[in-house]
């Protein structure tokens, strides 16, 4: 049986339009999922939409439609985005899916039965936009304003169902202690630890001031807090909590390997969610990875500054540079670490030119042109395959590339593949096959050099296929390589010598050189 890997994005709110943030998180998950599938793993990649809550109810009212109409309409927009950006998710969950609603009620009932949820009175500082309560300490720190919308926090009292988060203090601290990689990156883990040490309070998990949500079982005046509803998507999509055996058994994908989220929703994922799972005796995910934010042209994105990277501007980049160029920029330059990343038109253009045009594009076209010129476009034989340590040095990068991907270090994983390509460039410059080819006696040597270059590029292309799938497929087709990530044989494809002598190597121009154009958005 193949090993499983499962990865999730947050499920996105349907009351806003998709933008770079959503495309980013979905793309990094997609790269991992594609790579792991190519490695032959049994992968489950989940994304979806978060459709309940007061904000959706209010927006729908303002637009004169029902909340479910609004949810249908905007959830479809998010689904279309996945196609547009070649996201290969295995499922798309909607929190309005009937099965999800039933399963959430099942879990909440179980939590009530176990006394992990109780009915009580609550007073606190409420962020209307985020539908989130803050403690006095936190509210004071925020100067009683929403960190997201800037609106005043309001004092609110409610009779609510509460989750006994306070009783999980020790277990959550132990979890952080025993699994230092439970929250990544490290700086975010430290932040969560700091907050944990302030002490955990019980959290309200129901609302009575609106109705667009899943009713609390047995007390329909209360709807389940949108965050609890939403977090459960990770297990309801896998069929957990269903009374009947689902058609497709996906329980093997729990616990998830990675929940990839933005830093603003880490607390829910790294403290509340594990406590809920503990209360249900369900296994915990392996890692909650919280990336930072994209800012734009040096500033926080905002509609009023005109630097908001919405779908339209992303499509502009795709149309001009190609979808893979956008993926490459997001993955290699994005905010996977603890600091925000700046999306700038100039930087995008520079990265495109340096990595894709000058490195991958130039090297592949150089090698195919020389094979065209000196060997009639047929891959030459290598008279001395072990020459210059190619099989070994490539294997080192392959291994490191795979190991980094497993650790969700996408930047290093891509870098390992790029290192192979850069070595090919250096090798050509050193060996100067174009000079050797002037002497007919040197042709076997030239053949060996070019074979090694093409073979190293073939291997690098397999490693890069998860990040830039469309262009790597174009390369495979020009070079008549029978590579199909769907066969899950990345390891085997990596063996040195996979390129057969005599293979037709056609010329390729993978990434056109472009001028910086101000009209991308
Ligand atoms: O929070 N840079 O949904 P949401 C990078 N429904 N990523 C960004 C970003 C930015 N500037 N802005 C947003 C919700 N994101 C809840 C989640 S999960 C059980 C419920 C990404 O539509 C990032 O992944 O506001 C962030 O966590 C997510 O979009 C928030 O999406």
Q: Which residue puts its alpha carbon closest to atom 2 of ligand 1?
A: 293
Coarse DSSP helix, strand, coil percentages of the chain, rounded to the nearest 5 percent: 50, 15, 35
Residue 344: which of 355, 354, 336, 333 has the closest Cα? Answer: 333
**Residue 157, pLDDT score:** 81
**Residue 520, pLDDT score:** 47
385: Cβ contacts below 8 Å, ≥ 6 apart: 391, 496, 497
48: Cβ contacts below 8 Å, ≥ 6 apart: 11, 12, 91, 92, 93, 94, 95, 233, 237
Task: Report the nearest atom of ligand 1 relative to the CA of 10.
Answer: 18
**Residue 519, pLDDT score:** 55
**Residue 466, pLDDT score:** 98
Residues of the chain with pLDDT under 70: 518-521
294 lines ligand 1 (CB under 6 A): yes
Spatial separation of the C-alpha atoms in residues 308 and 18, rounded to whole Å: 11
Task: Report the nearest atom of ligand 1 relative to the CA of 233.
Answer: 19
Q: Annotate 195-258 with three-state secondary structure.
A: HHHCCCCCEECEECCCCCCCEECCEEEEEECHHHHHHCHHHHCCCCCCCCCCCCCCHHHCCCCE
Q: Which residue puts its alpha carbon closest to atom 19 of ligand 1?
A: 231
Choice from 94, 265, 297, 299 to test ligand 1 binding pocket (greatest atom count within 8 A of CB): 265
7 lines ligand 1 (CB under 6 A): no
Task: Report the nearest atom of ligand 1 relative to the CA of 230.
Answer: 19
Beta strands in 1-76 (DSSP E): 4-8, 12-13, 42-50
265 lines ligand 1 (CB under 6 A): yes
101 lines ligand 1 (CB under 6 A): no
Q: Which residue puts its alpha carbon closest to atom 15 of ligand 1?
A: 21
- The model's pLDDT over 51-105, given as tens digits with 9 standing for 90+, comes to 999 999 999 999 999 999 999 999 999 999 999 999 999 999 999 999 999 999 9
**Residue 383, pLDDT score:** 93
Bond before 255 cis per omega within 30 degrees: yes
**Residue 518, pLDDT score:** 61
- The model's pLDDT over 176-200, given as tens digits with 9 standing for 90+, comes to 999 999 999 999 999 999 999 999 9
Under 8 Å between Cβ of 311 and 199: no
231 lines ligand 1 (CB under 6 A): yes
Task: Report the nearest atom of ligand 1 relative to the CA of 16.
Answer: 22
50 lines ligand 1 (CB under 6 A): yes
Classify 32 in phi/psi space as left (phi over 0), alpha (psi -120 to 50) or beta.
Answer: alpha
Under 8 Å between Cβ of 7 and 29: yes
132 lines ligand 1 (CB under 6 A): no
The residues that bridge with 224 in the sheet, in sequence order, are 206
What's the pTM value of the predicted model, to 2 decimals? 0.93
Distance 9 CA to ligand 1 centre (A): 9
């Amino acid at each position: 049986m193949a090993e499983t890997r499962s990865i999730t994005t947050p499920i996105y709110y349907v009351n806003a339009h998709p933008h770079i943030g959503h495309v980013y998180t979905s793309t990094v998950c997609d790269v991992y999922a594609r790579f792991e599938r190519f490695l032959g793993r049994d992968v489950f990649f989940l994304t979806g939409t978060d459709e309940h809550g007061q904000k959706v109810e209010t927006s729908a009212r303002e637009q004169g439609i029902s909340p479910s109409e609004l949810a249908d309409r905007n959830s479809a927009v998010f689904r279309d985005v996945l196609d547009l950006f070649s996201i290969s998710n295995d499922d798309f969950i909607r929190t309005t899916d009937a099965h999800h609603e039933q399963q959430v009620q099942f879990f909440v009932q179980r939590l009530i039965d176990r006394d992990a949820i109780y009915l009580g009175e609550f007073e606190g500082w409420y962020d209307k936009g985020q539908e989130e309560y803050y403690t006095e300490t936190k509210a004071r720190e925020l100067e009683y304003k929403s960190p997201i919308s800037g609106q005043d926090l309001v004092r609110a009292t409610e009779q609510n169902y509460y989750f006994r988060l306070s009783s999980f203090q020790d277990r959550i601290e132990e979890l952080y202690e025993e699994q230092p990689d439970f929250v990544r990156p490290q700086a975010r883990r430290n932040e969560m630890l700091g907050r944990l040490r302030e002490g955990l309070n019980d959290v309200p998990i129901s609302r009575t001031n609106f109705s667009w949500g899943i009713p609390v079982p047995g007390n329909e005046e209360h709807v389940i807090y949108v965050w609890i509803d939403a977090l459960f998507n990770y297990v309801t999509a896998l069929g957990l909590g269903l009374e009947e055996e689902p058609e497709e058994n996906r329980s093997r994908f729990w616990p998830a390997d990675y929940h990839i989220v933005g830093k603003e929703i880490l607390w829910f994922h790294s403290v509340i969610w594990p406590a809920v799972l503990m209360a249900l005796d369900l296994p915990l995910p392996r890692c909650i990875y919280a990336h930072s934010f994209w800012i734009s042209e040096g500033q926080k994105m905002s509609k009023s500054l005109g630097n908001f990277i919405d779908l339209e501007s992303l499509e502009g980049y795709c149309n001009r540079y190609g979808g893979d160029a956008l993926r490459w920029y997001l993955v290699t330059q994005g905010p996977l670490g603890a600091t925000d990343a700046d999306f700038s038109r100039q930087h995008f253009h520079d990265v495109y030119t340096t990595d894709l045009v000058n490195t991958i594009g130039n090297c592949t076209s150089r090698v195919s042109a020389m094979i065209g010129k000196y060997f009639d476009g047929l891959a030459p034989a290598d008279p001395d395959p072990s020459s210059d340590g190619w099989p070994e040095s490539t294997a080192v990068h392959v291994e490191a590339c795979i190991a980094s991907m497993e650790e969700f270090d996408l930047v290093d994983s891509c870098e390992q593949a790029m290192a192979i390509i850069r070595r090919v460039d250096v090798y050509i410059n050193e060996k100067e096959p174009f000079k050797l080819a002037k002497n007919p006696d040197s042709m076997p040597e030239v053949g060996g050099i070019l074979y090694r270059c093409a073979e190293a590029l073939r291997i690098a292309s397999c490693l890069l296929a998860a990040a830039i799938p469309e262009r790597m497929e174009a390369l495979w087709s020009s070079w008549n390589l029978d590579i199909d990530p769907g066969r899950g044989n990345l390891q085997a494809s990596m063996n040195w010598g996979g390129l057969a002598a005599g293979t037709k190597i056609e010329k390729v121009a993978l990434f056109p050189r472009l001028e910086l154009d101000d009209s991308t958005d």
